[in-house]
Amino acid sequence: MKWFDLFIRYRFWISIVVLVLAVTVNITSGFWPSFILYLAGVIMLFTHFFFGPLRLIQSHLEEGNMEEAEKVLNMVWFPGLLYKPVQSVFYTLKGNIAMMKQDFDSAEKHMKKSLDLGVPMKEAEGANKLQLGMMAMQRGDMRQGETLIRAAIKAGIPDKDSLAMAYLQMCQIMAQKREFRSSKDFFKKAKATKPTNPQVVEQLKNLEKYISRMPG
């Protein structure tokens, strides 16, 4: 529905034109002939700020075109006016793009905003918490990292590669804490997910030889 996508992209400016036309009709012909134009203009203006243009981002994400996806997000002038679930998705997407740019401070800030708002999908909550946990581990904050990764697993991670990554991270955390039995259990869980991502598969292979030498 390209016509609808075009409408969403230019909805703000269309609403302004319609409202200007409504004022013109009001002056020349009176209020009631212009009423429908006022109503249409106000509805378009309201939906522009309340729902935003996030519908436009889907095709860009599917194509992996993050530059265009970011342009769509930049079309949101006042995120605070967005409907709360839409606002949560907005900050999740901002966090994901910041992660891809390796801007971890911005990514963490956006992910936390998304979680504070209440993620509309439970699976997205798990993914957000996993990313925050991984960022905490990169900062060397193992306690916060473990808490967030456990919370991510509990919330649910539908993507098997991300779930395997979460289990592998917990495996390493438990090994560092010398809780070897738990470390082995998490390794088995990671392997059982049967990940297909080459990096995760490689990490599994590299860890396997160390796991076999662990006591317990």
Work out the pLDDT band at 55, boundaries 50, 70, 90.
confident
Alpha-carbon span 22 to 169, nearest angstrom: 60
How far lies 150's CA from each of 28, 121, 123, in Å? 66, 18, 14
**pLDDT over 70, % of the chain:** 97
pLDDT, residue 127, reads: 84
What number of residues does the chain have? 216
Mean pLDDT of the chain: 88
- pLDDT reading at 135 higher than 70: yes
Alpha-carbon span 132 to 148, nearest angstrom: 7
Q: What is the mean pLDDT of residues 177-196?
A: 91
**Six token digits for residue 38:** 């006022």
**Six token digits for residue 115:** 């979680």
Work out the pLDDT band at 26, boundaries 50, 70, 90.
very high
Work out the pLDDT band at 216, boundaries 50, 70, 90.
low
Query: Where do we find the tokens 């134009």?
Result: 37
pLDDT (tens digit per residue) in 60-83: 877 778 889 899 999 999 999 999
Q: What is the mean pLDDT of residues 12-38?
A: 95
Alpha-carbon span 200 to 124, nearest angstrom: 20
Does an H or E element contain 146, and which?
A: helix 142-155
How far lies 195's CA from each of 126, 165, 179, 187, 199, in Å? 18, 9, 24, 12, 10
pTM: 0.73
Work out the pLDDT band at 169, boundaries 50, 70, 90.
very high
Asked whether 171 and 202 are in contact (CB, 8 A), the reply is: no
Q: Which residue has the higher pLDDT, 116 or 26?
A: 26
**First and final CA of the chain: distance in angstroms?**
59
Work out the pLDDT band at 157, boundaries 50, 70, 90.
confident
- pLDDT reading at 49 higher than 90: yes
